[in-house]
Each structure stands twice: as structure tokens, then as C-alpha cells.
Amino acid sequence: MSDIKSKESVFSKYQIFIIVLLAFLQFSVVLDFMILSPMGYHLMKVMDITKSDFSYVVSAYALSAFVGGFAVAGFADRFDRKKLLLFFYSGFIIGTLLCGIADSYEFLFFARIITGLFGGVIGSITNAIITDLFAIHVRGRVMGLIQIAFAGSQVLGIPFGLYMMKEVGWHFPFLIIVAVSMVVFVIIALYLKPINEHLKLKNDENQFRKLINIISNPYYLTAFGVAALLATGGYMLMPFGSDFGIHNLGIEEDNLPFLYLLTGISTMFVMPLAGRISDSVGRYPVFLVGSILSLVMVLIYCNLGITPFWLVVTLNIILFIGIMSRIAPAQALMTSLPEPKDRGAFMSVYSGIQYLSGFLGSYLAGKIVSGKPGMPVENYDILGYVVAIAIILTAILMYMVNLKVKKKAY
């Protein structure tokens, strides 16, 4: 592994392959999650379900991902990470396929549970792989490059998915994700080398005891607090984002794909830039700037009424620049916190807590907002205030995490 953990700032060919592969992996997983929210206005109409019903579909993924994250935490560090990744990615593909053939609200609800149970663990495995294979001084850059997948899902996936939903049907985007994921699965199986250096470390704890020790470790508790708050915004605002855009802001349905396209293009440049800057000037300063920008824009955006499309696009781009510029430095800080023997377990618990928070946030959002299908979303401004409070608290807790990481480095 010495060739992978080189101190050189330039990545080797295999490192570049890893980054590209994990980016495509994340693209498929993120798109699977992201594509459902823009479909919200359409699914509520064709399935004749309420806003609360739709929030349950979104939260079903999050709750099952939480269960999956905690279930895998006890043995995450006992297996080759490649094998673990292939197992959970195969389950994710099956769950997404079920979404693609769902013919009722109940079937879709069940399919989202299966998808979340497996797909929710993939992010933590990916972060553990990055931590194992890349030195700390380039980790922010790596996180930023891989997180381009998030922006890519908006640039390519969501507009295309919305277009195909309108032309072919809402099942088709999920089937496309399955096709892409199968190609990625084969490449992982054939070309990714085993990732098993962590197996050489002494790690003979009982699986349940290890989970308890990770959860109760005072050194990790602050990070878990960050995990609980960091996911709040997306899960509270995103499920009703398209509905709010169409019925509150006055966006034409045909313009919705362009909103996601233009937003995604802008964030594609922000993610790697934020990662690179965080490696040079510090992870927390970049995170803090992104948090302040997000805070201001959430309060503005969630209080808008009928707004010209060009202004909606501009505000949405600025909002996502703030949100996206927090992700790479946050993940770089979190991967620097756990001990090597705890990485897989820590990241699984961290991811699980994020999804539990997402479940609670999505459920709460469904209780706060109101309005019949096809009518304006009511109380969306209240969601904005709740998210704003979460952003402030997250910034405070992240400052404490940053101090722990600095102390560990010396």
C-alpha cells in the first residue's frame, strides 16, 4: 500500500482510477436518492397520495439506511472492503430494480426500504476506502472530486430523468440507474484490488461490543452530533422542492429540468475547488464559509413567492454552492477522526446516524407542510427556519471536531 499512500501531490494512475470509479459509484447511488424528490409533484398526482404519504416514501429509504449502517458497523472492519462493497452494491441494484417495476404506492414504499438498506451503507464503505488508500493531506481534494457525482446527478441524471419521466413514465429513470450500476459493479469486481490492510490490525472485539464501544466513545460523540444535524436540511427541504418550485415560485413544469441542470453545472466546479482549498487553507474555514452562505440563502429561498425563473435559478445556484462547499471539508474532517481499526465501524455508525436524522427530518417535514396535491406548499418557510437552526448548531459542533482532529495530528 506504500505506493498508494505516497506523499506525492500528483495521483498515480491507479489512484485516478479509484477516484473515477468511486465517483461513478456515488453517481448511481446519489442519483437514486436525488431523483425521487423532483418526481414528488408527479408521483403525488399519479398515485393520488398526500404530501405526508410522499414524505414517508423518502423517509423509508433513510430509516432502512440507518438500520443497515448500524447492522454493518460491528463487522465492517472484519472484511475486505471490496467484498463488502460488492455485496451491498448488489443489494442496492436489486432495490432500485424493484423501484423500476413498482406498480403501487405500497410496492414503491417496500422497494425504497430495500434500496436504503443496502445503498445507505455504500457511502460509509466508500469513505473508509478513501481513508485507507489516500493520505490525509490530499483527502479533501479526493472527497471534492468524488462528490462531483452529486453535481453530476443534477447535470446529467435529474434533467434526463425528469424528461424521460414525462415522455416514457416515472419507472424508466430507475431502470437507467440499474443499467449504469451494473456496469460499475462489473468494473469493481474485475479491476478494484483487494482493500484489506486493516485486517492486519488487532480487531478481535465481539461485533455487538464493538458497536457499543463506538457509539459510547466520548471522542466520537461530537462527530455523531454533526452527523445528526448535517443531513437535516436536505431531507427536510428536498422532498417538497419541486412541489414548492412549481406551485409556490411559479416555475413551469417544463423548466424544472433546466433548473436542476444549471444548478448542477455550477456545483460541478464548486466541489473539487472546495476540496482543494480545504486541503490548503483548512477544512473548517471552508466549511464555515459554506455554512454562512447556506444559512442566508435558505432563509431567503424558503420565504419566496412567485419569482421570475432567472432569479430562482440564480438563488438556487448560490444556495447549492453553499451546501456543496460544506460536504468535502466535512467528510475530510470526519475520516481523519477515527483510529484505523475503527474506520469502517465509525463511518457506518456516522452514516447510519445521518440517515436516522434524515428519516426524522423527512417525517417532521411531512407534518409541518400542508396543502393538497396541485396546490401551493404551506409552511415551507417554517422548514427554512428549522434548517437554519440546524446549520448554526452544526457549525458549532464541527468546530469542536476540528479541534479534536488538530489535537490528534500533534
What does the DSSP assignment read for 365-408? HHHH-B--TTSPPBSHHHHHHHHHHHHHHHHHHHHHHHHHHHHH
Lowest mean pLDDT: which of 87-91, 231-235, 314-318, 330-334? Answer: 231-235
Residues 6+ apart with CB under 8 A from 386: 232, 236, 364, 368
The rounded percent of the chain whose pLDDT value lies above 70 is 90
Q: Over range 380-401, report the average pLDDT.
A: 91
Q: Over range 151-169, report the average pLDDT.
A: 72
Q: How confident is the model at residue 204, as a pLDDT? A: 57
Enter the C-alpha cell of residue 280.
Answer: 490548503
pLDDT at residue 312 above 80? yes
CA distance 278 to 261: 26
Lowest mean pLDDT: which of 46-50, 66-70, 145-149, 226-230? Answer: 145-149
Q: Over range 177-203, report the average pLDDT.
A: 85
Q: Over range 112-136, report the average pLDDT.
A: 85
Lowest mean pLDDT: which of 6-10, 32-36, 261-265, 307-311? Answer: 6-10
Q: Residues 21, 192: contact at Cβ < 8 Å? A: yes
The rounded percent of the chain whose pLDDT value lies above 90 is 23
Greater model confidence, 298 or 68: 298
Greater model confidence, 272 or 303: 303
Q: Would you list the domain boundaries of the chain?
A: 13-409
Q: How confident is the model at residue 17, as a pLDDT? A: 92
Lowest mean pLDDT: which of 110-124, 139-153, 234-248, 392-406? Answer: 139-153
pLDDT at residue 9 above 60? no
pLDDT at residue 8 above 60? no
Q: How confident is the model at residue 288, as a pLDDT? A: 93
Size of the chain, expressed as the number of residues it contains: 410
Identify the residue whose cell numbers are 464541527: 398
Residue 346 banded pLDDT, cuts 50, 70, 90? confident
Q: In whole numbers, what is the pLDDT of the chain averaged over residues? A: 82
DSSP-assigned states of every residue in 134-173 = S-GGGHHHHHHHHTHHHHHIIIIIHHHHHHHHHHT-TTHH
Q: Over range 17-32, report the average pLDDT.
A: 87
Q: How confident is the model at residue 407, as a pLDDT? A: 79
Greater model confidence, 144 or 391: 391
Q: How confident is the model at residue 154, as a pLDDT? A: 61
Q: How confident is the model at residue 184, as a pLDDT? A: 93
Element (H, E) at 94: helix 81-101
Query: What is the CA 65 to chain-centroid distance, rounded?
Result: 11
Most confident among 139-143, 192-196, 240-244, 337-341 (mean pLDDT): 192-196
Q: Which fold has domain 13-409?
A: Growth Hormone; Chain: A; (1.20.1250)
Residue 6 banded pLDDT, cuts 50, 70, 90? very low
Greater model confidence, 314 or 145: 314
Greater model confidence, 262 or 139: 262
- Give all strands (DSSP E) within 297-377, no chain letters: none
Tell me how far CA of residue 86 lies from CA of 93, 116, 294, in angstroms. 10, 15, 35
Q: Over range 212-226, report the average pLDDT.
A: 83
Q: How confident is the model at residue 275, as a pLDDT? A: 75
pLDDT at residue 410 above 60? no
Rounded to the nearest 5 degrees, what angle is found at the Cα of 215, between the Cα atoms of 210 and 221? 140
Residue 179 banded pLDDT, cuts 50, 70, 90? very high
Provide the 3-class DSSP secondary structure of residue 216: helix
Q: Over range 371-398, report the average pLDDT.
A: 86
Q: Over range 239-247, report the average pLDDT.
A: 81
Nearest residue to 209 via CA among 342, 85, 352: 342
